[in-house]
């Protein structure tokens, strides 16, 4: 069974804090993704990575950065958290080739910035 785990289910941070969200997958997937989920907006891609140390901006990268030092781990960093970054954050992973496109999601981290 594919497993994508996220370091926290719930997180409360103060405005201006640096926030780290961690994601680990155990399927040797090449691709990893970070999304944020907001009501009425669906899932929006923040960043993705197709290989170790490689990253690409998604649709809403402003205010975020990422790090992928190992294949199984993909971190999302909020350099200076703001209240408009209060959201559900979802990590996903997938293979590059073969059975295409299925992304496996973690359970999400609900971040509240006060």
Partner 1 sequence: QQQVKQSPQSLIVQKGGISIINCAYENTAFDYFPWYQQFPGKGPALLIAIRPDVSEKKEGRFTISFNKSAKQFSLHIMDSQPGDSATYFCAASKESGGYNKLIFGAGTRLAVHP
Q: Where on the chain is the footprint of partner 1 (CB under 8 A)?
A: 4, 30-31, 35, 40-45, 48, 50, 58, 90, 92, 94, 96-97, 100-108
For partner 1, the closer CB: 50 or 67:
50
Shortest gap between Cβ of 5 and partner 1 (angstroms)?
10
45 neighbors 61 (Cβ within 8 angstroms): no
For partner 1, the closer CB: 26 or 102:
102
Q: Distance of CA 91 to CAs 15, 78, 98, 114, Å?
A: 23, 15, 21, 23
Shortest gap between Cβ of 18 and partner 1 (angstroms)?
25
- Looking only at the bridges linking them, the beta strands covering 64-70 and 19-25 are unpaired
For partner 1, the closer CB: 85 or 94:
94
Torsion on CA atoms 23, 28, 61, 44, rounded to nearest 10: -80
* Residues recorded for the chain: 114
Shortest gap between Cβ of 44 and partner 1 (angstroms)?
8
For partner 1, the closer CB: 9 or 18:
9
**Alpha carbons 95 and 105: distance in angstroms, whole number:** 13
């Amino acid at each position: 069974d594919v497993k994508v785990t996220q370091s926290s289910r719930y997180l409360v941070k103060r405005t201006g804090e640096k926030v780290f969200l961690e994601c680990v997958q155990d399927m040797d997937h090449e691709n990893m993704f970070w999304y944020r989920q907001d009501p009425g907006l669906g899932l929006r891609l923040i960043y993705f990575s197709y290989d170790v140390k490689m990253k690409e901006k998604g649709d809403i990268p402003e205010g975020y950065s990422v790090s992928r030092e190992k294949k199984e781990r993909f971190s999302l960093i909020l350099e200076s958290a703001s209240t408009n970054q209060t959201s559900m954050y979802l990590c996903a992973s997938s293979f590059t080739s073969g059975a295409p496109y299925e992304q496996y999601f973690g359970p999400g981290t609900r971040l509240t910035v006060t």
